[in-house]
Each structure stands twice: as structure tokens, then as C-alpha cells.
Amino acid sequence: MGTQNMISNVFKKYLAIGLVGITVTDRYGGVCPIRGSSMSPTFNPSVGSFTDDYVFLEKFCLDKYKFSHGDVVIFSDPTNYKERCVKRIVAMEGDYISNVGGVVKVPEGHCWVEGDNSASSFDSRSFGPIPLGLIHGRVTHIVWPPQRIRKIDRRIPQEGLA
């Protein structure tokens, strides 16, 4: 009887910790791996490195979609919703951006995202502006590996804005 009671108490504690953890990562923020070279040198600057950068994803910005030019965001790929992408916001709704096809006005409720490494980035230049509702959060810090721990700066590229 005592062993069952102890197992039950341990199970309840771990269940409570798990539920709190899920709530925190769903509402406030969490840690995500960044793979690929589309955001190099901001993330994964070494091509031959075996470790990916892990970043802190802040979700307070999702309240009323508080994003700014230069924010690095993680969002669902508009061509495959199961995949996540990380890119920098270059233009917000109402902004004009120069693209291969000419000048594009970013529609209401959308933003224009591009990778820092334009040579290997599949971004808004390919699929157009993305709805703000696809964004999962804003990247604020690199948290792993230890030698790369730092805050992510907002960098606003000016070359594409019209």
C-alpha cells in the first residue's frame, strides 16, 4: 500500500511539472534548434560545424502581433505548414519592397521576410509576403553552444525597401 501511494505521489508531481512546462513553452517562450545556412552568419556561421545553434523563442510578441523591422522570427513555411523557418522581417504591412518582379506593397496583416544569407535562403522573394498568423515567436538570444551565447540584434536591411 505504501509503495503504490509513493508511486502515485511521484506521478502526480511529474504530471504537474509537465503541465506547467507545456503551458510556459506554449504561452511565454521556449528553446528551438536552428538548422541550415539561410541565416548565416547570424546563426550557424560554420558550415562544417556539428552543432546547431539553439535559440530562445519569445512569444509575448504574439499578443496583438507586435513585430518590428529587423526582428528575427520563426514561422510556419507558407508552402508546407509542417515545417518551420527562421528569417528576418524586412518589411511590414503597408511598406513597399523591391523584388525581382518589381515593387511590391506588403498587404495588411502580412510581413516580408528574408534570410541573412540571400544566396541560400528560400524566403519572401520566392513565396511572397507571409501572414502574421504564421509566426510562432521572435528569436531574442542564442542560448547554445556556450561560445555563441548572445542577444540577437535587430538589423534593418535597407537595400530592398522602396
Q: State the CATH number of the domain containing residue 90.
A: 2.10.109.10
Average pLDDT estimate for 86-93 = 94
Q: Report if residue 115 sits inside a domain.
A: yes
Per annotation, catalytic residue among 40, 68, 87, 121:
87
Q: How much is the pTM? A: 0.79
Q: Report if residue 104 sits inside a domain.
A: yes
- Kindly report the length of the chain: 162
Q: Report if residue 20 sits inside a domain.
A: no
Residue 23: pLDDT over 60: no
Q: Report if residue 38 sits inside a domain.
A: yes
Q: Report if residue 83 sits inside a domain.
A: yes
Inter-residue contact 74 to 62 (CB < 8 Å): no
Residue 1: pLDDT over 70: no
Domain count, the chain: 1
Q: Report if residue 22 sits inside a domain.
A: no
Residue 108: Cβ-neighbour burial (10 angstroms; 0-12, 13-18, 19+): exposed
- pLDDT-derived band of residue 134, with 50, 70 and 90 as boundaries? very high
Q: Report if residue 156 sits inside a domain.
A: no
Per annotation, catalytic residue among 38, 40, 121, 124:
38
Average pLDDT estimate for 150-157 = 82
What is the C-alpha separation between 86 and 139, in angstroms, rounded?
Answer: 9
Q: Report if residue 23 sits inside a domain.
A: no
Domain span at residue 93 reads 30-151
Give me the sign of the Cα torsion angle 95, 59, 73, 19.
negative
Cell numbers that stand for 67 in this block = 513585430
Whether 38 sits among the annotated catalytic residues: the reply is: yes
To the nearest 10°, the Cα dihedral for 108, 110, 116, 121? -130
